[in-house]
Amino acid sequence: RLKPPVSARVATFIWAAGTQCVAKGDHRKPKPGELAYHKGDILTIIDTSTKKGYYKAKHNTTGEEGLINSTNVREREALRVDPSLSLMPWFHGKISGPEAVSKLQPAEDGLYLVRESIRHPGDYVLCVSVSGEVIHYRVIYQDNKLTIDNTQYFYNLIDMIEFYSKNKGSIATTLLKPKQKHGTKSAELELSKTGWLLDITKLKLGESIGEGEFGAVYEGEYMGQRVAVKTIKCDVTAQAFMQETTVMTKLQHKNLVRLLGVILHKGLHIVTELMTKGNLVNFLRTRGRSVVNPVQLLHFALDVCEGMEYLESKKLVHRDLAARNVLVSDDSMAKVSDFGLTKVDSKVSDNVKLPVKWTAPEALKKEKFSTKSDVWSYGVLLWEIFSYGRQPYPKMSLKEVKERVEGGYRMEAPEDCPPGVYSLMKICWEQEPRRRPAFHKLREKLEREMGKCSPSPGSERRDGIRSASGC
């Protein structure tokens, strides 16, 4: 059998500019013009027209640029949406002690699982194999924390397992090997394999910049880069947020908040680029008409529209689009964030509270979500932008909003809102979803609206606020 020529056997990587790659190993002593990096570092290709087999790349954390050999890196993969992906693959739910013993066979020191107690509902049991026996440690819930020995306390099971995997503490042996529940995959392994798992030792947490229903958001620094860190300590909530993380690994656009990676330590930490000027609704409320003019409002509207057009092209539905979920960067660019409800499918999850004032009638009534329901929400967001952050449907209760919108009521134009922009709001609020425009059509209309304005010379972003003479 003839072997193919050498040139045919050498793998050729053809990656576009903007592709993110993961370093396969260390490159600590680069030649002149080459980029230095460590194994696991994330690099972004910025130029493909270099010498054969090489790309010019930028280090995602240090910001340094240089040549990289394509054989020394692999493309950073997106995580597949997979319901079997678990932050707690060692958690087996409500099973009996004898069942746990059976699952931990053949006996192996340090093999473990966690089950929910049948005898004490609400409590957990850590089951560990040691010296041919299985020891059952009752995990007691008290003062909003978990403990085995009333000495070490933990916020959640993930935190507890992490501790006893490194420290023997008061149990018979350190936890060495999880007994994975049938049908689950380890989220930690998948995150690591695909290049999205970050190192906790390289993160410096700063001050809290926000408190949400599910946890706090902190400003921080990761390997010299300023970041935002969303921390989720509750096991169940952290597992639910894997949905948001999975979606974010697929997204790369200038008008979407960029995911840098995930840290699993005392819960789940979602690390994103830091948006220094906060959310759009607060940005507008605290600056007002004297600082932000109509042209700048149009820029914000266009930024969000372009981000949503990208989601539309990926067949993803955001389902919680509102000015509070749009963040503003240092150079005053608006970026869509909070992808916790984003899904490919159209059905809402159980027990999810819908933001009534932003949600389309068909989504409220029949739980039918689509890009067209996002378009409805975008119309409300436009109203928020041009009212400088006012609450939509002012002085109306949620019940009243539901009834009146269903009956055909639509909000009046905000004060001094350009007629063309109000026309856009109204077509976003068409009762029939099919009559609402797609985001790419909305972008075209906004660009025409922008063309009617008379920007002053050099009306680009400057000092964090766009300069312009108005419409």
- Pairwise CA distance, residues 185 & 182, whole Å: 9
The DSSP line for 339-408 is -TT-BSSSPPPTTPPP-GGGS-HHHHHH----HHHHHHHHHHHHHHHHTTSPPSSTT--HHHHHHHHHTT
Is residue 345 annotated as part of the catalytic site, yes or no?
Answer: no
The DSSP line for 78-97 is PPP--TTEES-TTEEEE--H
Q: Is the bond leading into 106 cis (omega within 30 degrees of zero)?
A: yes
106-111 CB contacts, 8 Å cutoff, 24+ apart: 107/132, 107/133, 107/134, 108/177, 109/173, 109/176, 110/173, 110/174, 110/175, 110/176, 110/177, 111/176, 111/177, 111/178, 111/179
The tokens of 453 are what?
């304005």
- Pairwise CA distance, residues 169 & 99, whole Å: 26
- Pairwise CA distance, residues 94 & 118, whole Å: 6
Backbone torsions φ then ψ of 276, nearest 5 degrees: -65, -20
- Pairwise CA distance, residues 22 & 42, whole Å: 5
Strands 185-186 and 133-142: unpaired
Q: Cα torsion for 301, 306, 308, 309, to the nearest 10°?
A: 130
The tokens of 180 are what?
């994975």
Backbone torsions φ then ψ of 446, nearest 5 degrees: -65, -40
Q: What radius of gyration do the chain's Cα atoms show?
A: 26
**Angle formed by the axes of helices 371-386 and 439-451, nearest 10°:** 30
Annotated binding site for ATP: 230
Q: Which of 303, 320, 338, 374 is catalytic?
A: 320
List the catalytic residues. Answer: 320
